[in-house]
Every structure is written in structure tokens, then in C-alpha cells.
Structure 1
Amino acid sequence: MSRTITVLSWNFENNGGGDRATLLRAHETLTRLNPDLVFRQEMWQADAGGNAALYELEAVLGLRGWLGPGSCTAIFANPRIFQPVREWPDTGPMWVLPPTALTVRYLPAGTDATPLGLASYHLNYASSGTRLAEVEWLTTWADKKWTTPQGETVRIPCLMAGDNNSYPAPGIQGDPALPVLEEIKDRPHRLHRSYTGPDGSRVMDTRPDEALRVAGLEDVARHRAAAGDEAAVARTVNACPTHGPDARVDRLYATPEVLDAVTSVDVIEVPEAVSDHHIVRVRLDGDRLADRLNRQPTALESLLAPT
């Protein structure tokens, strides 16, 4: 039977607002989902007391944790499956909330396999221009190189997850509809979630999604929904009177090698009293992932990768 790798991404609101009991209960919820990888956002104050809160969450999750610059994001990984190769603390000049970025070895693939890039990110809330610049820097973690034991230089496959504070481009059955700008009651939020289009009118912001896909990173939920699994594109934030309708702002993106191993995507809803974002869960076929990390795509396969 093939190994299943469970990946979770969650923007847990304000990291529990400083309430330790709330924080621990929330991560016990994650533990019940038996994750191998967790991408977290809004990790505020997790660096307090010499990273004491981070290490406490490690114990709850049973995973090793890495905290990004400024305590904005984190990654937790099963150390029996993922071994760190290096960290990337220099995240570039544009980030308001810097990501956590790692290169890891997927141990079941063997020591000669190409490692895997991971990034947990949180795009800027208020500025569409800043978001676009941030996501352009984010693509650099899908452009890292590795020298194989045979001396060949290859590009490292990548999986990244986060709060995009923007929308996926329309076109997939079941995806929440884009908000209508004039129906968003909160006027500043209209600005935050839109940009000025070529004709001078305001357009809802889908540019981060489009930029990532141009760079060869596919929205894994979109990929599954295109195959008929509409549950993959369920909302990740609920409608509210000020900010508009249900939306799917929390997304995971993968390069073709990782995308090929994705077997399911779903959203685990949490009560609004717990967080304003739901948990996105992705399952990977571990054996297929190992195969892909041991075999880089040909040029033709790269051209045929989903867009």
C-alpha cells in the first residue's frame, strides 16, 4: 500500500490572540488530522521566550518546526519523513510578512533523490501592488537548483502554501465567484482586494494566482477540481457583511513533479469563533512523489504541465 502524505495549511487567526489554551486547542485539532506537513500563517509571538511557543507547538503536533522571520509564518514537518537540507532566511526586499522557506529531503525517496522546496507565506493584506511584488519573489523558491549525483543541474520541485489575500482566476466549476466590487460594503476593503485595470476601472485582484501559474506553479485545488473534484475548491473564508461573499484565499501551489502526486484536496471548516480561515488539506501519494523526485520531467513534460 502506498504511503499517504497529509499536508495542511492554516492561517490561524492571530495565533490565538495570545491565549495559550486557545492556541494549544487549535493545534490539537490539527493533530487529529495526522499531518506530515503543516504550513502555518499568523504565528505572532511564537518567538517569545526564545521560541518557547514554537517548541510547545512542536510537542503538540509531534512535528519539527521552523519559524520564519518576524514570526509571521512557520512550517512543521514529520522528521521521520522530511530532513532539512537548508533554510532560506533571506526572503527578499519586498515582504511585509516574510515567508518561511526550506529545502528538505524526502527520506523515502532515498539519498540520491532531488530534494523538495517548501514555503509558507502570507501575502500583504492592504496593497495589491505589494502582493504582486511579493508573489514574484515567492516564485524564486521554485527556481532553486540542485546538482544530482550524476553531476546534472536540475531545478528543485516545490510546494508552497499560504494566505493570498486575493482570489483565484475564474474558470473552474465550483470555485466561489469573484466578489462584485460595488457590493463590498467596507470601502477600504474594496481598495485592498482590487487594482486598477487597463481601462482605468477597478478589477478584483487575481494577479498573484495568475503570476504563480505563469511561473509553473499550479493551484492544487484547481488541478483537482478540473479533474471533477469540486469539493477541492470549497471556500476557505466565510462570507461576511463587510468583506463580501465566500472566498478561497488560502491555496497551495506545486510544481508539476509534486502536482503529479496529489490525490485529494479538501477544506476542513472550523468555527468562526476559532478562526476566520478554514484548514486546507492536501493528500499526496508518497510513492509517486518519491518516483518524481528521482526522475526530473523532460522538456516535453514541462511544456505539457497544467497552467
Structure 2
Amino acid sequence: MSTLTVVCWNFENNGKGDPARRAAGADLLRRLAPDIALRQELWDADAHGHTIFNEQTRALGLQGVLGAESCTAVFYNPAKLSVVRGWTQGRGPHFVLPPTALTLRYEDAGPDSLPFNAVSYHLNYASAEQRLLEAEWLTTWADKGWTMPDATRATLPAILAGDNNSYPTGSWGDLPLPDLALVKNEPHRLHRSYAGPSGERLPDNRPDTAFRTAGLEDAALYWATAPHGDPSALSRTVNASDTHGPDSRVDRAYLTPELLPALTGFEVIEVDEDVSDHHLLRLTFDGDLLSNVLAHSTSA
């Protein structure tokens, strides 16, 4: 059975200046053998002619596009995927940390199949209002039209994943929203909350609400509640701390609904804190089902 593996990881590419830490992160990614890697915080990867970035693409055996200011990147397997459009000039002006977005064709689905968008993003850490604005702009990648070979128009499916610096809305089995009074770091308490109608500060889950209002599905929640899914998909992606509050699921992946039938697995892979302060998401798609989805979308 053919598969397509997607990982999302907020891992500082420079390892906070520690080459051993950077090497450990690259080794973990290499062992997971992703077909698409949606990365955040690749600081310094553009220095000296993209030396670090090029080193990592070689180590992973992938090709990739590094976004503006080394904030985000998309790596992809050229044996399975080809780029049919990049969105460097089409991301909108409203991101503090610019996302990276590619329109990819899954080669097994055929040359006339519908491509899909793959987007790596990192929402602003300090402002709930800025995060909401950025989330709203990100939903435009779930609304991109595409002209098919027969001149009909279709909407591109989309995979969006990244660091949301905010909380999920909260549903069955999900981690509870934090009690802000127990978040000891006062700036962080501000950064992770917004003012409600009465002025009371509330845990910020508005980006999640925006994505879901736009029709995108939280892939972890979908898999946790699927008949053959696994509730552990809702595991923490950032560990609790005395200053910043409880375990949280700030790293999330969102899918347009037509991709959900092809999803056959979702895991949170815990990473040693000596390597990264974020855990890693891995999504697995059945390649045959994905091909059928893209072919069916074409005919539709």
C-alpha cells in the first residue's frame, strides 16, 4: 500500500546555537522519512547562501522552499510530489512570521489530477488580535481556485499545519483550557488570552474557531474521534511549566474535508526537551485513497 507521510514540527533549525541539538533534530526527521515536512523556526537557515537549509534538504533526501526570514519552510519528496505553484508573492501582508505555501501535485494521482495546497505557518506569539487576523488570512488557502485541463474550475484541497500559539476550542477528550489565574508568567498570560465581552481575559482559542468556521477540520480531533482512530491524537504538543501553564496542544494540523477519508493515522511524537520544546505531529495518508480523492475532485 502506498502512503503519504506529513510531519509538522516547530524546531529551531539552529538548535539555539548547539550543533549537536540541530543534528539530533535532523536525525529524528530523517528517521521518520516524511514526504512533506512543514517546519517552523528555521532561524539562520538562510545565512551564507542557505547553507544550513541546503544541508538539511540533502540530509532528508527532500527538496524544499524556505520562506521569508527563515520563519517557516515546506520540504517535499520529489519522487512523489511536484510543485505546480509557489505562493511567496501571494501570502498577504499581514503575517509577523510569514508562512510558506506550495501547491503540490501527487504524482500517483496522475498528471490531470487536482493538486493540493501545503502550508506551514507560525501564528504570532504576543497578540491574540494578530493571531486571529493571521488565521483568517491562512484560510484563503482553503479557497484557492484551480483551472483543470478541461477548463473547469475546482477548489484546491489544503493541508495547513503549524504553531498556533493558542488553544483548540475544546471538545471531547481534548486537553482542558488553562485556568489563566494559574499561569504565573503575567506577560504570557496576556499573550495567550483575549478580552471577552465583559473585559475578562479568556484563553485564546479564536484561531481554531476561525479555521473551523472556514470548514477546515482539526486533524487530531478528527482522528481521535474516528471509529478506528486513537484518542492519543489529542496529546500535548508542548509540556506544562511552572510559569507558562499546563500541557497544551498549540501545534495543530487542519485539513479540508475532502482529504479526511484518506487520513489513516495521526500521531503526536514526543521529543526530548533537550532537542526541542515542541513535540512533533505525523499524519499518514493512504496513497490510493488520496489518489481517488484527487481524481474524484477532478471529475466533480
Q: TM-score, normalised by structure 1?
A: 0.94
Mapping for residues 40-79 of structure 1, pairs under 5 Å: 40-79=39-78
User: What is the match of residue 150 of structure 1?
Assistant: 150
Mapping for residues 67-106 of structure 1, pairs under 5 Å: 67-90=66-89, 91-106=91-106
Give the aligned residue type for 1:136: E
Task: Indicate conservation of the 8 Å contact 2:86/2:102, yes or no.
Answer: yes
SS in 2 for 1:80: coil
SS in 2 for 1:292: helix
Deviation at 1:19, TM superposition (A): 3.0
Mapping for residues 1-307 of structure 1, pairs under 5 Å: 2-13=1-12, 15-90=14-89, 91-173=91-173, 175-227=174-226, 228-296=229-297
Task: Indicate conservation of the 8 Å contact 2:148/2:298, yes or no.
Answer: no
Deviation at 1:298, TM superposition (A): 10
User: How many pairs does the alignment contain?
Assistant: 297
SS in 1 for 2:166: coil
Q: Distance in 2 between matches of 1:192 and 1:198?
A: 18
Task: Indicate conservation of the 8 Å contact 2:13/2:45, yes or no.
Answer: no
SS in 1 for 2:28: helix
Q: Distance in 2 between matches of 1:32 and 1:66?
A: 21
Give the aligned residue type for 1:170: G
SS in 1 for 2:101: strand
SS in 2 for 1:165: coil
Give the aligned residue type for 2:117: G
SS in 1 for 2:181: helix
Task: Indicate conservation of the 8 Å contact 1:41/1:72, yes or no.
Answer: yes
Backbone CA RMSD of aligned residues? 1.4
Task: Indicate conservation of the 8 Å contact 1:179/1:204, yes or no.
Answer: yes
Q: Distance in 1 between matches of 2:44 and 2:236?
A: 28
Task: Indicate conservation of the 8 Å contact 1:13/1:276, yes or no.
Answer: no
Change (3 A) 1:176 1:297: farther
Aligned identity (percent) is 55
Q: Distance in 2 between matches of 1:18 and 1:116?
A: 35
Deviation at 1:172, TM superposition (A): 2.2
Deviation at 1:170, TM superposition (A): 1.0
Change (3 A) 1:297 1:232: farther
Change (3 A) 1:206 1:243: same
Give the aligned residue type for 2:78: P
Deviation at 1:297, TM superposition (A): 9.1
Q: Distance in 1 between matches of 2:13 and 2:65?
A: 18
Q: Distance in 2 between matches of 1:136 and 1:110?
A: 32
Q: Distance in 1 between matches of 2:209 and 2:178?
A: 17
Q: Which segment drifts farther, 102-111 or 141-150?
A: 141-150
Give the aligned residue type for 2:286: D
Q: Distance in 2 between matches of 1:57 and 1:298?
A: 38
Consecutive unaligned residues in structure 2, runs of 5 or more: none
Consecutive unaligned residues in structure 1, runs of 5 or more: 300-307
